[in-house]
Amino acid sequence: MDKSPAVAVSPIPTSRKAAARVALVDLKNPALALLTECFRQFGVETKTMNGDAVARLQKEKFEACVVKMSPAAQAVMESARTSASNSRIILFAIGGTAQEAMRYSKYGINAIFHEPLERPSVLKLVRATQPLVLHELRRYVRIPVITEIALTTNDNRKVTATSIEISCGGMSMRTTQDIASGQSVEISFSLLTLPKAHVRGTVTWKNPGNKAFGIRFDATDERRLKIKEWIDAYIEG
């Protein structure tokens, strides 16, 4: 989700029928125009909502929703997550930081468009989440989601991290504290309908530049099966 240099992206042919719809909630130009253009390049139709998002998200089916991170966003997210047809919607927030997103963690924000919006970084994020939005999922899907992680190292050190992606086999996350590769850890976190998950794992990689690192779940820890069940339900929903 970091800003990146310009990237060359091949657009989807304009003759292709849109396979999914994304709600753009209370956005103004130029952000509205930019997001509309970028989603359409990847075969996603956009629907603009101004003041009617809470009601429409309860009645209409959408694959994704983009909402500016603000106090007003809470009602929009609540409406989406409590809707029978949109409970598994992909939620994008605009602005703010991962730490600020923690205030809305119970709604399971999937990704953040950082301000000011720049076309290369918007395209990069839309491309990364396209398989989830279009339900074109590979076997070992990685789901972007932002939630707080409580991590305990093998020397009983407590670390707080923010998740980036989760899969059946592990998670990537970010923290300001030092984590060593190869270290055994136990993590706990909540995800929407998964109230609390605990699982052991090993730090398999780290990126000092952006404080990110990855954990592979312990294959002998049967608690990871609850995470797999949650992922299966998420992508099937």
pLDDT of residue 112: 94
Residues 105-124 have pLDDT tens digits of 889 899 999 999 999 999 99
Q: Are 43 and 2 in contact (CB under 8 A)?
A: no
**17 falls in which pLDDT band (50, 70, 90)?**
very low
pLDDT of residue 100: 80
| Residue 64 is assigned to a structural domain of this protein | yes
Q: What is the CATH number of the domain that holds 212?
A: 2.40.10.220
- Give the three-state DSSP class for 139: coil
**Do 39 and 119 share a domain, yes or no?**
yes
**Do 127 and 35 share a domain, yes or no?**
yes
| Residue 11 is assigned to a structural domain of this protein | no
**Do 160 and 94 share a domain, yes or no?**
no
Tell me the mean pLDDT in the region 200-205: 97
pLDDT of residue 113: 95
Q: What is the CATH number of the domain that holds 97?
A: 3.40.50.2300
CA 123 to mean position of chain CA atoms: 15
Residues 37-65 have pLDDT tens digits of 999 999 999 999 998 999 999 999 999 99
**Do 113 and 175 share a domain, yes or no?**
no
| Residue 198 is assigned to a structural domain of this protein | yes
Domain enclosing residue 52, as ranges = 20-134
Contacts (Cβ under 8 Å, ≥6 apart) of 229: none
Contacts (Cβ under 8 Å, ≥6 apart) of 142: 165, 166, 167
**Do 36 and 83 share a domain, yes or no?**
yes
Report the alpha-carbon distance of residue 96 to residue 137 in Å, rounded.
28
| Residue 219 is assigned to a structural domain of this protein | yes
**Do 128 and 24 share a domain, yes or no?**
yes
| Residue 203 is assigned to a structural domain of this protein | yes
**How many structural domains does the chain have?**
2
**Do 69 and 155 share a domain, yes or no?**
no
Reply yes or no on whether the pLDDT at 82 is more than 90.
yes
Of 134, 169, 203, the domain-final residue: 134
Tell me the mean pLDDT in the region 95-106: 82
**Do 93 and 187 share a domain, yes or no?**
no
Reply yes or no on whether the pLDDT at 139 is more than 70.
no
Looking only at the bridges linking them, the beta strands covering 90-94 and 64-68 are parallel
Query: Across the chain, what does the average pLDDT equal?
Result: 88
Of 134, 155, 171, the domain-final residue: 134
**Do 128 and 157 share a domain, yes or no?**
no
**Do 149 and 225 share a domain, yes or no?**
yes
| Residue 12 is assigned to a structural domain of this protein | no
DSSP string, 47-94: EEESS-HHHHHHHS--SEEEEESSTTHHHHHHHHHHSTTTTTPEEEEE
Tell me the mean pLDDT in the region 78-102: 89
| Residue 212 is assigned to a structural domain of this protein | yes
Reply yes or no on whether the pLDDT at 84 is more than 70.
yes
pTM of this prediction? 0.80
Cβ-based neighbour number of residue 43 at 10 Å: 19
Reply yes or no on whether the pLDDT at 155 is more than 80.
yes
| Residue 50 is assigned to a structural domain of this protein | yes
Of 88, 116, 134, the domain-final residue: 134
